[in-house]
Amino acid sequence: MPPKKVIIIGAGLSGLSAASYLQMNGFNTEIFEMHSSPGGLCTSWKRKDYMIDGCIHFMIGSTESESTYPFWNGLIDMKKLDFVYSDQHCSVINGDNTINFYSDVDKLEQELLQKAPEDKKQIQWLIKGIRKFLKIKFPVEKPVEVMNLMDKLKAGIMILPFSIKMINALKISNKQFAGKLKNPYLRKAFKMIFVGELHLFSTMLIFVWRHNRQMGYPIGGAVKISTLMESNYLKLGGKITYNAKVSEIITENNRAKGIVLEDGQIHAADIVVSAADGRSTVYDLLHGKFRDKHIIERYEGSLFETIDKTLYVSIGVNKDFSKEDHKIYFFLKKPIRIDPKTILDYLDLTHYCYDPTAAPRGKTLFTLMPEALDWEYWKALRDNDIAEYNKQKERIASSIIEALDEHYGDIKKNVEMFDVATPATYIRYTGNWTGGQISWKAKKEITGKSSTWKIKGLENFYMTGQWTGVSGGLNHVVMMGNHVAQIICKDEKMTFSFNQK
């Protein structure tokens, strides 16, 4: 019997991961991608002499001790990648006051106690939690849907020593924890750095990964990762068709049968996997015909909220900032208006001087992600008045350059390049609903909610990627690609293998 044909919609990391692991396990796979290159949101682009990494600030799972490393290593020879590990997560600057959020937990504790001694009780509670989780190993090799009783018992045993502290950290959000801090500057800094709706456990894990050096930046950035994954998939015998936007998923008798492209081409398949935007998959490609209670809860209820939108601003400067902190947050003396719903009073700034592929020697690539909450404004402006759209992008870039000049001095005259991506940019290139780079706000209220791998009532159809679960980093979507492949193998009564055949 010939291998079953699987069509995957979208060549982002989750789509590449799912296709690769399915190809390894004996399926005949083909990816259809609307854009001209792989990676989806994990992408880079060239502007003059600068290579803008439009995605990666850090990559979790960079060393073997982290739980998601095997998912990466199944697709990329991780030993051949060079990772940079920072001594700090970031610094927050307010005039003469600076708080350094160190990667090393001992230095972090010392810094926070020194800057906010009145918050000793809360700081030590936070640090104690980070230290507790330094040896945690998550049982993520298999999705719950394919686990047997023994798998679940093993998973429970792995988590048991950490369970009480984890439950307590999952019960409190970053915003609630910040509200307990007495020092006004530490409270403001904590709110600025960490998303308020996220549970505190997620913040503790950031420092666990930092301390353990399990979260690094890969030299070459997003384009390096996505092209390596593409190359591996093609070597496995997979096929990618680029510039091929899917307009419809064909269904017959409540079974997925293939896809229709915008140009009218029809491609049949035994199984269809969407690694594309979740909302457009359900309501456009499937015409809203298949909606179970989990889909309705996500897309039609109030519990799930999309992540706050941002711009992605890049600035190339003819100066070397390699001796400066790689990521800082600093308060603005003059607020910057982004759109009708967004006014900024601080900026977060990252430089890429540790990556020689980002800028010529002696020069610096800066990136910033200022909030842009009114995504509909940006989409309408680009659709209806492209000249004004470009004017507003230039206005924002000029305001940010002015602020950087005021903070550092000697910036404006050394700017060689700037680039501004808006929510409209992400909608255009990736189809992401509302133009956010990430999907759902990982609120503590949705912790533990089921992933929407399938839609009840529709056979031979699966979904994967960040819209399927709760938003996460690159390691999360690569893991989800692997997990959906395991689920498909189980449904097809096949034994899943991590290894390439």
Quick: pLDDT tens for 113-162. Answer: 999 999 999 999 999 999 999 999 999 999 999 999 999 999 999 999 99
| Token pair in block for residue 319 | 């100066």
pLDDT of res. 500: 62
Residues of the chain with pLDDT under 50: 501
| Token pair in block for residue 499 | 């290894």
Pairing label, strands 364-368, 312-317: antiparallel
Q: Running DSSP on this structure, what letter comes out for residue 173?
A: B
β-strand partners of 317: 364, 415
Q: How many residues are present in the chain?
A: 501
Place of tokens 């006014």: 343
Which residues lie below 8 Å from residue 394, measured CB to CB, with a gap of 6+? 420
Distances (CA, A) of 391 to 381, 382, 387, 388: 11, 11, 6, 5
pLDDT of res. 210: 97
How far apart CA 11 and CA 285 sit, in angstroms, is 17
Nearest to 274 by CA among 28, 37, 452: 452
Residue type, 363: K
pLDDT of res. 440: 83
pLDDT of res. 198: 84
Nearest to 89 by CA among 210, 219, 208: 210
Which residues lie below 8 Å from residue 145, measured CB to CB, with a gap of 6+? 453, 483, 487, 490
Pairing label, strands 5-9, 271-274: parallel
pLDDT of res. 143: 94
How far apart CA 71 and CA 498 sit, in angstroms, is 8
Instruction: Determine the angle formed by the axes of helices 221-235 and 13-24, rounding to 10 degrees.
Output: 20
Nearest to 92 by CA among 222, 185, 201, 212: 185
Stretch (H or E) spanning 163? helix 163-171
How far apart CA 281 and CA 299 sit, in angstroms, is 11
List of long-range contacts for 130-139, beta carbons under 8 Å, 24+ apart: 130/105, 130/204, 130/207, 130/208, 130/211, 131/105, 132/162, 132/165, 133/162, 133/165, 133/166, 133/204, 133/205, 133/208, 134/105, 134/208, 134/211, 134/212, 136/162, 136/208, 137/65, 137/67, 138/67, 139/67
pLDDT of res. 501: 46
β-strand partners of 249: 259
How far apart CA 333 and CA 343 sit, in angstroms, is 13
How far apart CA 234 and CA 271 sit, in angstroms, is 20
Quick: pLDDT tens for 438-481. Answer: 888 777 777 777 889 999 999 999 999 989 987 678 999 999 99
Nearest to 60 by CA among 166, 213, 219, 226: 213
